[in-house]
Amino acid sequence: MVRALFITLLVVIPLWAPWMDSSGIGHTTDKVLESFGPLASVCYDSEGALLQDGVQVSWYPFGRLVHTCSGDYVLWVWGAVREQGGVYKRAGELQEVQSKALTCKSVLERQEFRFATSSDSKIVMYEGEVATKPDFSIFKEAEENERVITAALKKGAVFAGRFAVAEWGCGSSCQQHAVIDVETGLVVAYGPQTEYGVDYSLESTLLVTNPVNKLPELPHTAYETEGLALSLARVSREYYLLTTDVLSGTQYLVLQCVENAATGYIEVEDERLKKLEDK
């Protein structure tokens, strides 16, 4: 009899989770929101009918299940929070990640880690004959810049192992670019437009517009620094990865992240800007 009671208590008590009765719903929801930030609690179907209004909390083995329009989350008896289908972490770890915006540097590091084992990340250096004429079958509009694209093609690969990069002016402080496969001559990217050019290398699939190393030298006076900061405020820096289509084998640039061109160049703490703010 005693043995049976002991076994019953051993099974029932952890599943019961008495600390999470109906009076603890607010506490449960708060713990999830602390970990994952604001979550959508009202949602509708494609025809506008209300599907859910509010966060729903229900029983779950060793904890509680919080159901929202953004997804389901489990709060365990011992205080850890887990997104259903996600990676298990304690609430403290999740809060730090969720409350901090990702910089472009962080985005690129995460992408590099995710694609580390992908064949798409392996760069093969092309050492064969270079095509004599560009192929405009994808970007017909690039033909109007055939001369400069052909000249870039003849110089050979300078980007991602087997690609040439052409650049030409499009007005004051304006450049346009094209990426060309040196083996086939195919123009695989046409654009992007910049004010301070692009940065790339033969050993990487990353192409950056308006990079820091192409920006003008930082002025010495507060007035000039403020003027440059205001000018760069409207300029974006874009990070592209050259990606290969699995089915067709065609390459194209995929936008990964966008930030202000002044990032990493003019800091808010710059003494020259501080002097202006203090006046």
What phi and psi values does residue 80 have, to the nearest 5 degrees? -80, 155
Query: Per-residue pLDDT tens for 93-134?
Result: 555 544 456 788 888 887 777 666 554 557 889 999 999 999
Non-local CB neighbours of 58 within 8 Å, separated by 6+ positions? 64, 65, 67
Contact 70, 62 (CB under 8 A): no
* DSSP track, 156-202: ---BTTTEEEEEEE-STT-EEEEEEETTT-BEEEEEEEESS-EE--T
Residue 32's SS3 state is: helix
Query: In what side-by-side order are the strands of the sheet with 206-209?
Result: 198-199, 206-209, 236-244, 251-260
In angstroms, rounded to a whole number, what is the distance separating the alpha carbons of residues 3 and 151?
87
In angstroms, rounded to a whole number, what is the distance separating the alpha carbons of residues 184 and 196?
29
Query: Residue 68: exposed, middle, or buried by beta-carbon count in 10 A (0-12, 13-18, 19+)?
Result: buried
pTM of the complete model: 0.61
Contact 254, 243 (CB under 8 A): yes
Query: Per-residue pLDDT tens for 166-225?
Result: 999 988 889 999 999 999 999 999 988 999 999 999 999 999 999 999 998 888 887 888
Position 6 scores a pLDDT of: 63
